[in-house]
Amino acid sequence: MYSSSMVNENYGYAVSWEPLPYKTTDGGATWTPQTTIDAFGGFLYDIKMVDTSMGWMVGSSGRVYKTTNGGLLWDTLSVPTRSYSFQTMEVIDMNNVVIAGGTGVTMYTNDGGASWTLHNSAGSTLNGSYYTKDQQTQGWAVFALGSNGYIFKNTLTPVPVELVSLAANISGNDVTLTWKTATELNNYGFEIERKSASGNWAKIGFVAGNGTTTSPKSYTFADAGLTNGKYQYRLKQIDLDGSFDYSQSVEVEIGTPITFSLSQNYPNPFNPATTIAYSIPEAADVTLKVFDVTGTEVATLVNSRQDAGSYSFNFDASKLASGMYIYKIEAGKYNAVKKMMLLK
């Protein structure tokens, strides 16, 4: 086995020298071979699943694949070169992906693989990579490990808006999105996109940004009159020059739950953000807090009275250290605790 990617405690994928991935839905107790990806017959070196639906794979002969339906189909993407084997990648989200391999070749996409920026060469075979975000310069840094013991660094510049939270709250058949930014630079605004369980992403609204500011800003958007079912939401942040970036998605389910529940965060392990979802069958005063392993509170995600419904919250842990964290919900007489792992 070359690589594995677990979305939660039960669901994950693994790849090896065979031209097909393996899937588990029972925490690794059993692994089921999936359909051969294509006819090229090479190795698959790395796989990263963003959630149970979306993920990426790379392999020999410059192969790059993407799935948006849980691995039922893997699309073969067009890339600038197929002269090298791609051994490793970092999936920041489904739009921002860094791939490395060959003799120091790195590629970066910020539009889900529609276009790529090619960087080469470090002069040494790249066998691993590590991604981080510089909070001071608001830049990306990619560190790649070479076959001769070298460490190479490459820097890339993202759309300069720091999104620190995105949440979706349900009231009846209405959904209210709330999000916050820590800083903004040349921010034109946010397109709001929605996707139903069986549909595609579609724009449903726009909220103007605050241009350039170093002060935290809060935003809201209401989506009313939805029919019962599951929905995902994401933000398309657009810069004044037309460049853009997507947020992670949050999911809600319209329809009154019949029990209290706290779901396992996804993805888990995560870096740096993850989604926490819960359901309450009746109106209640709700708190959702995060603690480190010593019991010290590190974040309060929710502290308000909420109507019956299903909720999800995007938790950004970019300013926390790697390690195990505990999140706890209290809603009326109900309380529950779960663990999550931050790996940087």
Residues 135 and 168 in one domain: no
- The long-range contacts involving 6-11, CB below 8 angstroms and separated by at least 24 positions, are 6/49, 6/268, 6/269, 7/49, 7/51, 7/52, 7/266, 7/267, 7/268, 8/52, 8/264, 8/265, 8/266, 8/267, 8/268, 9/264, 9/268, 11/52
CATH number at 143 reads 2.130.10.10
52 and 186 part of one domain: no
Write phi, then psi, for 105 (nearest 5 degrees). Answer: -85, 130
* pLDDT attached to residue 230: 87
Q: Which of 1-5, 248-252, 270-274, 320-324 is predicted least confidently?
A: 1-5
Quick one: CA dihedral 176, 49, 290, 197, positive or negative? positive
Please tell me the predicted confidence (pLDDT) of residue 93.
74
Q: What is the CATH number of the domain that holds 224?
A: 2.60.40.10
Q: Does the structure show a pLDDT above 60 at 131?
A: no
Domain boundary among 103, 133, 156: 156
**Interval 67-90 mean pLDDT:** 79
Whole-model pTM above 0.95?
Answer: no
Q: If you average pLDDT over residues 116-121, what whole number do you get?
A: 67
Banded pLDDT at 138 (limits 50, 70, 90): very low
Domain span at residue 241 reads 161-342
SS3 (DSSP) at 317 = coil
User: For residue 145, is pLDDT > 60?
Assistant: no
Give 97 or 299, the one with higher predicted confidence: 299
pLDDT tens for each residue of 101-114: 765 677 778 788 88
Q: Which pLDDT belongs to residue 256?
A: 74
My answer on whether 129 and 166 are in the same domain is no
Name residues whose C-beta falls within 8 Å of residue 22's C-beta, 6 or more positions apart in sequence.
13, 14, 15, 16, 31, 32, 33, 34
Q: Which of 156, 179, 195 is the last residue of a domain?
A: 156
Task: Assess whether the previous peptide bond of 80 is cis (omega < 30° from 0).
Answer: no
The neighbouring-strand residues paired with 335 are 330
Q: How far apart are CA 160 and CA 52, in angstroms?
A: 29
Gap between the Cα atoms of 237 and 243, Å rounded: 8
* CA atoms of 73 and 70, how far apart (whole Å): 8
Q: Give the chain's mean pLDDT.
A: 82
List the structure tokens of 229. 């079912």
Q: Are residues 174 and 128 in the same domain?
A: no
Q: Which of 45-59, 156-170, 311-325, 326-340 has the lowest mean pLDDT?
A: 156-170
151 and 194 in a single domain? The answer is: no
User: Which has the closest alpha carbon to 69: 83, 86, 49, 88?
Assistant: 49
pLDDT at 9 over 70: yes
Between 281 and 214, the more confident residue is 281
pLDDT of 30-44, one tens digit each? 888 877 666 555 678
User: Is the domain of 92 the same as that of 181?
Assistant: no
pLDDT bucket at 234, cuts 50 / 70 / 90: very high
Whether residue 18 is found in the same domain as residue 141: yes
How do residues 257-300 score in pLDDT, each as one tens digit? Answer: 888 999 899 888 998 899 898 989 999 999 999 999 999 999 99
The number of domains in the chain is 2
Q: Return the pLDDT at 84.
A: 66
Local confidence band at 206 (pLDDT 50, 70, 90 cut-offs): very high
With a CB cutoff of 8 Å and minimum separation 6, the contacts of 130 are 90, 142, 143, 144, 145
135 C-beta neighbours (distance < 10 Å), count: 12
Q: How far apart, in Å, are the Cα atoms of 184 and each of 7, 118, 157, 310?
A: 31, 28, 14, 30
Greater confidence (228 vs 146) lies with 228
CB 87 within 8 A of CB 45: yes
> What distance in Å separates the CA atoms of residue 251 and residue 263, rounded to the nearest whole number?
12
